[in-house]
Amino acid sequence: MADSEPDPDALRRRRERILRGFAEAVPHNRALGIEIVELGDGRARYRLPYDPRLIGNPETGVLHGGAITALLDACCGSAVFNALPQPQPIATLDLRIDYLRPAVPPHAVVASAHCYKVTRNVAFVRAVAYHDDEADPIAAAAGTFMVATKLGDPARRKPAGGGA
Amino acid sequence: MRARIGEARAAGDVDRLIQAVPYARFLGLTAAIVDGRVVVTMRYGDHLIGNPTLPALHGGTLGALLESAAIFELLWSSETIVVPKTVTITVDYLRSGRPVDTYASGVVTRQGRRVANVLVDAWQEDPAQPIATAHAHFLIKRDEPDGDRG
């Protein structure tokens, strides 16, 4: 309130720190070994290191599709969260994943998600998972998320008047 | 894998298939045959949580459970001789996943020579109130010497 002209860089750093804190607090992300590569406005990049615990086909050592699903879901959720004007609870409504080719062991999988539209109730997001080259993806995803779910925030304040 | 699938089918022990998959063990999955269908259980564990405030299961764990249940239903009931490869899966999240055991079971809606379609539900207390559903397409391979191998 006293700062009439906050430093935009400081605000951005503070925001990224808060967003990173939320992302790092997710137990399942930690269990999978997910690393947060970068977070930006409506964008997120996560990295899943190869881990023998996540193998789906014991004959080939290829990661289970479910692990890629979890990575993409987490990364999409983070991109949506980063697109919101202030932190609000969100919930996945649906997520479609196309598996374009198998992940190659023992390489890490990177997911890159972009939340390209946020409305009052719903956020829309796209993502890809890849090894080294985003233009040569392993999987592509499209999802929608509910914004400001009543669940999840017991202390949820009434939105200030005029909110879109 | 072919031998392992055959052994499990012969022994009527679907859980043997599941325990061969490291990621299924990571999630805490077990399987049993109920009324002729594979029912996969995801035992609750704190590492499955996505939202610690609620708390609620991570959406990815439900997606993974649904995908696994679909794959095990195919391994069990179809004639595929390879582990089905997921082509596409769409998950609808209907309710928040509470921190309790979750069950999933699939139905093979169409099985062609190369591709199979599976519908699968996940529920907690009441199968009539699913918390998530999915439909998925898988590439499969049947044991047909003259069949299409693609």
pLDDT tens for each residue of A73-100 = 999 999 999 999 888 888 899 999 999 9
| β-strand pairing of B115-123 with B56-57 | unpaired
Which of B26, B88, B89 minimises the CB distance to A53?
B26
Give the structural domain span for A85: 8-147
Residue B50 CA, distance from chain mean position: 20
Is the Cβ pair B47, A71 closer than 8 Å? no
Is the Cβ pair B47, A95 closer than 8 Å? no
Is the Cβ pair A94, B89 closer than 8 Å? no
Min Cα distance A8 → chain B (Å) is 30
How far apart are alpha carbons A87 and A149 in whole angstroms? 12
Domain ranges of chain B: 2-139
Query: Does some domain include residue A14?
Result: yes
Query: Does some domain include residue A21?
Result: yes
Best B65, B68, B80, B89 residue to mutate vs chain A (most A CBs within 10 Å): B89
- pLDDT (tens, 9 = 90+) of chain A, 164 residues, equals 555 667 888 877 887 888 888 788 899 999 999 999 999 889 999 999 999 999 988 889 999 988 999 999 999 999 999 999 888 888 899 999 999 998 999 999 999 999 999 999 999 999 999 999 999 999 999 999 999 876 544 444 444 333 33
Residue of A nearest to B93 (CA): A93
pLDDT, tens only, B9-34: 777 788 888 888 999 999 999 999 99
Q: Tokens representing A118?
A: 């946020």
Q: Which of B146, B95, B86, B144 is nearest to B115 (CA)?
A: B86
* DSSP codes of every residue in B44-60: --GGGEEETTTTEE-HH
- Judge whether A22 is closer than 8 Å to chain B, CB to CB: no
Please return the burial class of B130, using the count of CB atoms within 10 Å of its CB with bins 0-12, 13-18 and 19+: buried
Q: Tokens representing B53?
A: 């405030």
Which of 3.10.129.10, 3.40.1370.10, 3.90.930.12, 3.30.565.10 is the CATH number of B2-139?
Answer: 3.10.129.10
Min Cα distance B53 → chain A (Å) is 6
Task: Identify the pLDDT of residue A163.
Answer: 35
How far apart are alpha carbons A142 and B53 in whole angstroms? 26
- Judge whether A59 is closer than 8 Å to chain B, CB to CB: yes
- Judge whether A24 is closer than 8 Å to chain B, CB to CB: no
> How many contacts, defined by CB atoms under 8 Å, are there between A and B?
140
Residues A109 and A131 sit within 8 Å (Cβ to Cβ) = yes
Residues 6+ positions from A92 with CB-CB distance below 8 Å: A73, A76, A77, A143, A144, A145, B59, B91, B93
Q: Peptide bond before A8: cis, by omega within 30 degrees of 0?
A: no
The ipTM is: 0.88
Q: Could you identify the residue written with the tokens 């918390």?
A: B131
pLDDT, tens only, B49-92: 998 888 999 999 999 999 999 999 998 888 888 888 999 999 99
Which of B23, B54, B87 minimises the CB distance to A66?
B23
CATH (domain of A32): 3.10.129.10
The number of distinct structural domains making up chain A is 1
In chain A, DSSP finds a helix count (H) and a strand count (E) of 3, 8
Q: With both helix axes pointing from N to C terminus, report the angle between A8-24 and A65-83 in degrees, rounded to the nearest 10.
A: 150
How far apart are alpha carbons B19 and A26 in whole angstroms? 26
How far apart are alpha carbons B31 and A22 in whole angstroms? 34
How far apart are alpha carbons B134 and B70 in whole angstroms? 9
